[in-house]
Amino acid sequence: MTPDSGPGEQKGQPGLVSAALSGLCPRCGERTLFEGPAQLADECANCELDILSLERGGRFVGVVTMLLALVLICAALGVDEWLRPPLWATFLFWGPVTIASVVFALRFYKTMWVYHQYEERQQP
């Protein structure tokens, strides 16, 4: 059982999702990229890669989060219209879903950005 590498895989960047989930350093592959749920470390604790300087310029993070929150709120309102669940159920469901989605989106976005910057610096 090897990780899926079918036609759906993005070009040359397999495992970006798992890198985001586990917070893998782009250089040494250790789980050192994040020091908090959605907080990048300043540098890799293993190979001392300067993550902070790689992150610089990743200013769309706020926009991405806002867009995602907007989408989720719209989805929540849509489900509300459709199913008319009790209010407590709405909060119980959408609270964790929203938090998890925002954290994951931030992790994924930051990982993508850092990997992109890292690859860019590898070019002569």
Note whether 52 binds Zn ion by CB under 5 A.
no
Q: Is 31 in the site for Zn ion (CB under 5 A)?
A: no
- Whether the CB-CB separation of 30 and 47 falls below 8 Å is answered with yes
Distances (CA, A) of 116 to 51, 109, 112: 12, 10, 6
Residue 25 found at the interface with Zn ion (CB under 5 A): yes
80's CB contacts (< 8 A; 6+ apart) are 90
The one among 28, 71, 73, 74 contacting Zn ion by CB under 5 A: 28
Determine which residue in the list 19, 49, 54, 106 makes contact with Zn ion, applying CB under 5 A. Answer: 49
Q: Which stretch binds Zn ion (CB under 5 A): 43-51, 61-69, 87-95, 108-116?
A: 43-51
Residue type, position 48, single letter: E
Q: Which is nearer to Zn ion, 54 or 102 (CB)?
A: 54
